[in-house]
Amino acid sequence: MNVAGEPFVIEYNCRMGDPETEVVIPRLTTDLVALFAAMDNGTLEDANISFDERAAATIMAVSGGYPGNYAKDKPINIPPNLLQSNRGLLFHAGTRMNGDTVLTNGGRVLAVTSFGDTITEAAENSLSMLEKISFEGMYFRKDIGFEFR
């Protein structure tokens, strides 16, 4: 949270939240399954855990009306070449399939996580990807990642 230009933590969970997971896990360069195995066999302290040094930003596309009442079953247009730039990842959340059509099925519909040399660049990349996606009532914040530049 930005308070007078200073970042403050307002919530702390002992589990990964949503959309926090979508920005942390993609930066992990260590094999996640190997880390789970190390936890299981008691050797996690010997694990070499490393992260991608680039910044990452996740922006969530939500259904109009979220977190209140929102419509479902709106077709989602996702360009087939959206991920070819390798600048980002697309996570489905509140979606479902009807034949070959992706439909909205919840308030938090899609999350886009992108990378960059700075948080601002990562956020710009996520916004650029989100602007290519569409569904009726789609909303996403345009200030995520820009408040500390």
Per-residue pLDDT, 98: 98
Phi-psi region of 145 (alpha: psi -120 to 50; beta: other; left: phi over 0): left
In angstroms, the CA 129 to CA 88 distance is 8
Whether residue 106 contacts residue 94, with contact meaning beta carbons closer than 8 Å, is answered with yes
pLDDT digits (tens, 9 = 90+) for 116-133: 999 999 999 999 999 999
pLDDT digits (tens, 9 = 90+) for 54-104: 999 999 999 999 999 999 999 999 999 988 877 799 999 999 999 999 999
The topology (CATH level 3) of 2-130 is Glycinamide Ribonucleotide Synthetase; Chain A, domain 4 (3.90.600)
